[in-house]
Structure formats: C-alpha cells, structure tokens
Structure 1
Amino acid sequence: MTPSYSILITSSSFFMREIFKSIFADEEKYSVKIIKDIPDKLDGVSNFNACILELDSDSKDQKYELVKKIIQSYQIPVIIITEAGSDREILHLSRNEEELLFFIEKPSVRFGIMDIKGFQSVLLSKIEEILRYVLTRSKKEHLNQQDFTMLHGQICPKKAIVIGSSTGGIAPLRSIIANFTPKSSLVIFVVQHLPPSFIKTFVQRLSLISKLKVKVAEDDDVVTSGLIFVISPMLSFKLKKVSQNGKPPMITISLQSQTREVKTLSIIDKVMDEVSTFFRENTIGIILSGMGNDGLKGAACIRERGGLVIAQDPSSASMYGMPSEVIRAGLANEILSVDKISLYFASKT
C-alpha cells in the first residue's frame, strides 16, 4: 500500500522516538520521518502533511517559535505532545491559524507502567481528525455547501448528545469524552457549570484527551457532526435552521447574554430542551454529578420527544443531587456508572 500522508515527528527523547516508531510501524497509510530536532530554517518541512512535536520544558520557547513559523509559513497542522495544558495564547495566532494547532497529553504512567496503547489511540484519532477537518480546508479560502459536507461530514448530524454536569462533574465528564470515537453522524453539546473565565481553559484541557474536535460554542457556529461544543453557562443558547437556496438546511447556534428575565430555565435544561426540539427522538441526555436539579426539566423535554436519558449512578457521583432528581422523577432510561456510560456509547453510537 502506498502511503497517503507524510508526517514529520520530532522529539529530543530517544525513548519517545522509539514509542513513535512502534505506533506507526503498522500504519501503512502514513509515511513517517522521526528526527531529534527540526532545523531552524525549517528545511523540508513543507513536504509534510502534518508535524508532531514533543514539548519539553528546556526548549519550550524555542519549540513554540518553530510551531508558529510552521503554521504561518506553510499552513501545516501541528500536534504538540505536552505534559502540561495548552499555551495557545502565547503563540498569538489568528483564529484560522489556531485551527491548525492541536495538543495531546504525553503517555500517562500508572503503577509504574506507561499507557502506550491509550496514547496511541488518542494520537491516531487526532491525526484522523486533522486529515478530516484541516488538510483540505486549509487549501480553500471559501467553501461551498459540497466542500463543507466533504470536510466535516453531515451538515445536520443524525444524533445529538447533551452532557450536563456541575460540582464533581469534571472528572467523569473527561472520562466519558476521552472514550468517544469519531462518528460521522454525531454531535455533542457539553454544559459544565463554570465561571465564563474558565471555559476556554476547560476546552483546552478537554482537547488534550478527546479524539473529537472540541471548541467553545460561538454565535453562528454550524452544528456539524464530529464536533464537541462547550457552552458557557452565562449565555442564552438557541438553535436555528438556516435555508441554503434549495440545498439541505443547516442548523446553527445562536448565543446571547443571559438576563434575569430569561433564567426561568437553567442552562442545562435550556440546552436539552433546545437540542431535543431539533433532534427529537435522536437526542441523548446525560446527567452527571452536581448539586441542585439543573437538567431535570431538560430530561423531561428529551423524554417527551422520544429521546433517551442517562443518569450517572448516584453512588459513583461526588454530588448526587442532579442525577438523583432525574432518577426520582422516573426520567432516566439508564442509571450507569461513569465507566458503563463510556462502554454504552462504545457499543451504541
């Protein structure tokens, strides 16, 4: 089989270079070159479809300068392998340039054993995401409807998942998000009760462990399969259908600042209500750890429209208020631990 894509990998660690060799040993569609350092003049970099750089603290600033040059000079997507969170802000990239930058956590170590298989799964999925969302798009300045469908899958996904969580919900949410595999007909909306100033960092950390593209939901975003939208709790969320001159309509996101008058429904309730209005029986709602009853009315909306509701097993939740309210109201089709929620979607979606 002739390789379809070429990837340049750089790591100062001999051990990590050996890991990369083993990961790509049987991946016939990729032609991979693994080196210790990228030349400062970036000789030959333009010949590759993507770059993977392992980031170490000793050369962090230098590597970031190289990343910036690669993206701005050649419009080549870059995956940064790092132990810490992402530092997008210090690169000062434009919005279009930021779409070429991805972060993945280094292989985790548990009980002295490195999780190579987990790292391999995330890395290969992230590369597939790049090929699907970035490579062709970066060469086109304007996209028509057909181009958009080719790059992003279906304009109107067949199924939507809404995940609502609050206090104690970040850890289970990360676990579930990490186990979603790319699906052509699935879109995910995430509502985590957080101050607005934390949302961007939250999205960056989810991106490190997600096999799907994660982004902050913005006004006029097109609801597209294969994406995870994180919605700020301080915004009023709506979906709207946009006609396309005889072509299949698109669903877009409409966001406005919340006012006291519109807070009759809390944000998880509102998102579940709005999403289930459009996706009807193809909506799945997941209620994770949290205090209070946000998500209760939203779960009722999903059930009324024929959708499915999953509540985290209260015995596995740090704060059992939110899932318990849904269970007590008889709205949960399934009551599952976090691990079983992940397994459920591995088999059902």
Structure 2
Amino acid sequence: MIKVLIVDDSALIRSLLKEIISKEPDMMVVGTAPDAYAARDMVNRFTPDVITLDIEMPKVDGITFLDKLMKARPTPVLMISTLTAKGADATLKCLELGAIDYIEKPKIGVTEGIEAYRQIILEKVRTAAVSKVARRTSTPATVKQQSIISGTEKIIAVGASTGGTEAIKAFLLALPANAPAVVITQHMPPGFTRSFAERLNNLCKVNVSEAKGGERLLPGYVYIAPGDIHLGIEKSGADYRTVLIDGDRVSGHKPSVDVLFQTVSKTAGKNAIGIIMTGMGKDGAAGLYDMRQSGAYTIAQDESSCVVFGMPGEAIKLGAAMTVCHLDNIAKTVFDYLNVTGSGSRL
C-alpha cells in the first residue's frame, strides 16, 4: 500500500487529489496538509511513501519545505506546478533539491481531460513510490580532453525522462568546452525546456540552448528538444543540422527519445554516441537499439544511479546498450571511446 501525503494550500485541490488517489486499491491518503507546518507534523507521524507538494504556499513555500525535508527525512516528492515560465524555474529548482517529478496544477472546474489527468497522477505516484530519492552530489570533474580534436561529424545523442534533468546536468557539467555536439530529448512540457536550457547554459562550459531547427551541429554546443515537438537531425552537405518534427506522439511522448535516436541512427550511424538515462517507461530503447545496429557506440545509465530504471532497463533488455555505467562515469566513458576512435576528426 502506497501511503500518500497531500500538501496544498487549496482545499479544492486537496479534495480533488484525495478523491483521485483514495479510489485506488494500492494507495491510501494518510493526510492532507494546508501548509508546511501541518505537513511537517504529518511527515513525522505517518512516514508517507510519497508526498505531493504545492510550490506556492503561504508561510513557508514548497521549495523551502522541500529543502528541509530532503535534509531531515528524504522522501519521494511530486511537485504540483503551474506550467508557466515562473513555474518552470521553481520546478527545476525543486528537481535540483531532490524532487522526483512534477504534476501540472489541476484546473478546478474543468472536467474535460480529467481522466487523462487522473491517469498521469496515478502513474507518477506509483513511479515515485519505487524510485530512488536523488542525493545531492558534488560537481563532477570536467573530463580532460587532450588527444582528440572535436570534429563536426561526431554527435552525442542523449535521452531521459523522470530524474533526467539532474542526470543531464551532471553529464553536461563534466564536458569540456570543445566537446562534440550534443542533442538531447528530455520529457518536459512546453516552456520548461527553455528554462532548463537557460539554467544549464549558465552552469556548463558548453553552450546550451533549446533547439530552433536548422542549426548546424557544432562542437561545444548542446541542443535540447522543445517541450512540444520532436527533435531529430538531418544531413546538410557535409554537416549535420537539427530538425524539428511536428508529428504524433511516439512511444507515448512528444518529444520522443525514439524519434531522436532513430534519426541519429539513420543520419550519423557510426559517427554517433547514444546515451539513455533515467526515466519511466521504454521510450528510447528501440531507438538506441537502432543506433547500435547502425554502428554507433551506445551507453545506458546503470540502475544504481538512476532515479527510475525504466528506460535504461528496457534498452539493456533489448541488447541496445554496449556499455552500462554509473552516471558519474558516463562522460569519461564517452571520451575514453572518442580518444580511441576520434583522432584526426575534421573540423
């Protein structure tokens, strides 16, 4: 039985979330709290398996409460967030502090789409209940790259979902300024990806931006799929360029990791490296298999360092991953491979 604590200053939202969760045979709501003070007492009294936490609350906001919670009693937390630029920044901060995932704040009085919303909540609660609470670690050391030249033909493709924002950050922080071009699909809603890219750009030696489509892939640059459209790559003469694909959901997602990996497989083949990171579900597993079959070097994050081992686990089952390694070692693994295979790359 999954014990859930609901923390929200809105009585209507507390009531809605309680109604949705209480109907499930494998879940029970152990308490509902209108503020951080009541929540603190309930955490100590009920030791919940999962907490849904509103970001915007009176007295003590959700970010402050989360920070204190993770230091005192680390617990899987789902943030209740507004899908705005301000909400995106706050949510990304919460993910940095250790929150597992986030859920859009429900629109009270809007019945259309409530069933889909219910399914999202229940899926994320169940995922959070079996996830690993992310531990804050020190900043990884930048990989020392001395022997190879980063050419425009080398591409690193990365896919992630739940827990991926921090995993991607850890990987990019370890990259030197002249790393090969990186293309990323992280499951996020529109607006969040821009904030995510901006935050990473302020932290990393590489240049990070939300992909606009048509950009030439250059060493030292990272392109992140926008939250509402698939990202792929295409060949343009001797160069690779980003392409945005406004199609249907693939593997249940838009943007989809499978779409990214499959276009990289077809376009770059053995000149690519594919990395599948923490995430719920199986998006990216088939695409990573295609990359391996086309001659790319493929890596899966190991279970011990994943928040959720769904996507990497599925890729490993398919035989898509040539190497399985801890998050902290992925960047080094990439450059060990490049140092063997990438000497003399064309600029």
For 1:161, what is the secondary structure of its paired residue? strand
Cα deviation code 1:200-228 (max 9, x no counterpart): 11001111221111111112212222211
Q: Partner of 1:241: helix, strand, or coil? A: strand
Matches within 5 A, 1:70-219: 157-183=152-178, 186-219=180-213
CA distance in 2, matches of 1:261, 1:213: 28
Q: Map 1:227-246 to 2 at 5 A.
A: 227-243=221-237
Distance 1:165 1:264, change over 3 A: closer
Instruction: Write out per-residue CA displacement over residues 28-60 of structure 1, whole angstroms, 9 at most, x where no aligned residue.
Output: xxxxxxxxxxxxxxxxxxxxxxxxxxxxxxxxx
- How far 1:341 moved relative to its partner? 1.0
For residues 137-172 of structure 1, give each alpha carbon's deviation from its aligned partner in whole angstroms, at most 9, with x where no partner exists.
xxxxxxxxxxxxxxxx98x71211111110011112
Q: SS where residue 191 of structure 2 aligns? A: helix
Matched-pair identity in %: 27
- Whole-angstrom distance in 2 between the partners of 1:273 and 1:261: 11
SS of the residue aligned with 2:215?
coil
Aligned Cα root-mean-square deviation (Å): 3.1
Residue 320 to residue 212, structure 1, CA distance change in 2 (3 Å) = same
Distance in 1 (alpha carbons) for counterparts of 2:242 and 2:284: 20
Distance in 1 of aligned mates of 2:245 and 2:255: 14
CA distance in 2, matches of 1:265, 1:307: 24
Give SS of 1:277's match. helix
* 8 Å CA contact retained: 1:313, 1:335: yes
| Residues 184 and 225 in structure 2, CA contact (< 8 A), matched pair in contact too | yes
TM-score (norm 1): 0.51
Letter in 2 for 1:236: H
Aligned equivalents of 1:287, 1:311: Cα separation in 2: 5
Cα distance in 1 between the residues matched to 2:251 and 2:162: 23
Alpha carbons of structure 1 residues 197 and 266: separation in structure 2 relative to 1, 3 Å: closer
| Secondary structure of 1:196's aligned partner | coil
How far the C-alpha of 1:233 sits from its partner, in A, is 4.3
- Aligned-pair distance for 1:253? 2.2
Partner residue of 2:217 out of 223, 240, 244? 223
Q: Which amino acid is 1:225 matched to?
A: P
Asked if the contact 2:225/2:255 (under 8 Å) is kept, the reply is no
TM-score by length of 2: 0.51
Residue 189 of structure 1 aligns to a residue whose secondary structure is strand
Matched AA of 2:225: I
Alpha-carbon distance, 1:282 to partner: 1.6
Q: Give the aligned partner of residue 85 of structure 1.
A: none
AA matched with 2:192: F
1:332 equivalent in alignment to 2:326: no
Residue 102 of structure 1: aligned partner = none
- The AA in structure 2 aligned to 1:299 is L
Q: Using CA pairs under 8 Å that are at least 6 residues apart, name the structure with larger relative contact order, 1 or 2.
A: 2
Poorly superposed stretches of 4+, deviation over 4 Å: 260-266
How far did residue 238 of structure 1 move? Answer: 3.8
Mapped contact 1:234–1:258 kept (Cα < 8 A): no
Q: Which amino acid aligns with 1:193?
A: H
The superposition leaves residues 212-260 of structure 1 with CA deviations (integer Å, 9 ceiling, x where unpaired) of 11111112212222211111242133433334xxxxx333222143335
Measure the CA separation in 1 of the matches of 2:253 and 2:206.
Answer: 33
Aligned partner of 2:314: which letter?
E
How many positions carry a matched residue from both structures?
198
Give the direction of change, closer, same or farther, for the CA distance of 1:241–1:332 in structure 2 (3 Å limit).
closer
